[in-house]
Amino acid sequence: MFSLTYEFKLQPTKQQSETFLDWLEINRKVYNYALAERKDWYKSRSCQVNACSLRSEYIIPADTPRPTFASQCKALTAAKEQYLELKRVQSQVLQQTLKRLETAFVSMWERNFGFPRFKKVGQLRSFVFPQLGKEPLKPGYIKIPVIGWVKFRQSRDIPTDAILKQVRIIQRASGWYAMLTLQWNISVPQPMPYGEALGVDVGLMSFIAASNGLCVKRPKFFVDLQRQLKLLQQRVSHKKLGSNNWRKAQKKVQKLHEHIANTRKDFHWKVAHQLCDQAKTIFVEDLNLVGLSRGMLGKHCLDAGWGQFFQILEQCCFKHGIYFQKVDSRKTSQICPSCGTQTGKKDLSERVHVCENCSYTTDRDVAAAQVVLIRGCAAVGHTVKMLAEGKFIGVPAKQESHGF
């Protein structure tokens, strides 16, 4: 079973886009309400017995269970009787928003993300339909529960042998979009590790580095775009809050944000293709395991840029029948890829790896990528040479592209 995501620009009627806006706002309120409930519960637990602060005056009984996705879904159903506006939105959509909050908490527990924040007006920009009715698609139209047929610009064909699993409606500066998740209930043969193998590491000096020496620099135009964004944001702050000019300036900021996101995505696809052209097997470091210990930016930064890139790289590999695997990335920068000796922690300014033991010398990012490659090969039980020569049991079937 595998799934793919297709995105299309919607062309809703005025009434439909008003409904979208209304639903976004109700979803935002539900999100914030559920977050407040969870937050209160945490506060009531963290309050010291002998130092009960004024702000924690409300008392939540000690045996109150921690709010969960299930308990909040139940509470939501009950709240509908009291808050009639909740009835305007399809229940499943609101439940998905509660699930999103649950996911934010899981990320906090498991991945050390920050405590989820309240969403201000306009900060919740999408909602999800986890299920669609029968035959939800016809050329140029998608049938959205409750809302009905919505027109969209069909920029590419939608495979007919797949099931439309879910639809996410997103508001962007340039309008409304639908993200369609299509699922095939067949098992696709996974490519086997074989052929030229490549280790890929997020770089310190460059965007990414590969074990064959390829280093991709961060493109300079991002710096220019960021500068432009800062300028526009300054302009917003000089306008009177809520005025017409303020709104216009705000709109410009949002448009640029969208442009930056699109440009970044294009860049990620370009790099992914470049890597896929050079290998049959690709190992990357598992970002979930990269801590702040590497003296790099926060995890959020890691996830914003490289997280998306690795996702795209995985898709690209899948398309081209390239074996893709994440490997443990701890201490990649402290190990010599040539002899395996663990060296001391490298200073941020050290740009070159020089091994004290075997005197192997190379770019520090490339060295880390080579360690990723060695670990990846070990993880699949082969050596780099074995993969390249195909000397292992089970020669992979000829890979075919999956036709998209």
The binding site for Zn ion (CB under 5 A) comprises 336, 338-339, 341, 355, 357-358, 360
**Cα(10)–Cα(276) distance, integer angstroms:** 32
- Min separation Cβ 341 and Zn ion, Å: 5
Round the CA-based radius of gyration of the chain to a whole number and report it: 25
| Closer residue to Zn ion, CB minimum distance, 30 or 372 | 372
- Min separation Cβ 355 and Zn ion, Å: 3
- Residue type at 4? L
- Min separation Cβ 265 and Zn ion, Å: 38
Handedness of CA 296, 299, 304, 306 (dihedral sign): positive
CA distances from 243 to 230, 263, 398 (A): 20, 30, 62
- Min separation Cβ 253 and Zn ion, Å: 50
Helices 308-319 + 244-276 axis angle, to 10? 40
| Closer residue to Zn ion, CB minimum distance, 190 or 341 | 341
- Min separation Cβ 192 and Zn ion, Å: 31
**Cα(361)–Cα(20) distance, integer angstroms:** 57
Q: In what order do the strands lie in the sheet with 2-10?
A: 126-129, 163-172, 175-184, 2-10, 148-153, 141-144, 137-138
DSSP secondary structure, 310-348, as one string: HHHHHHHHHHTT-EEEEE--TTGGGB-TTT--B-PPPPT
- Min separation Cβ 397 and Zn ion, Å: 38
List 283's β-bridge partners, or say none: 199, 325
| Closer residue to Zn ion, CB minimum distance, 32 or 362 | 362
- Min separation Cβ 338 and Zn ion, Å: 4
| Closer residue to Zn ion, CB minimum distance, 162 or 377 | 377
| Closest C-alpha to 59, from 77, 75, 43 | 43
Task: Enter the tokens of residue 148.
Answer: 């009905």
| Closer residue to Zn ion, CB minimum distance, 316 or 372 | 372
Residue with token string 């001391």: 344
| Closer residue to Zn ion, CB minimum distance, 128 or 336 | 336
| Closer residue to Zn ion, CB minimum distance, 203 or 337 | 337
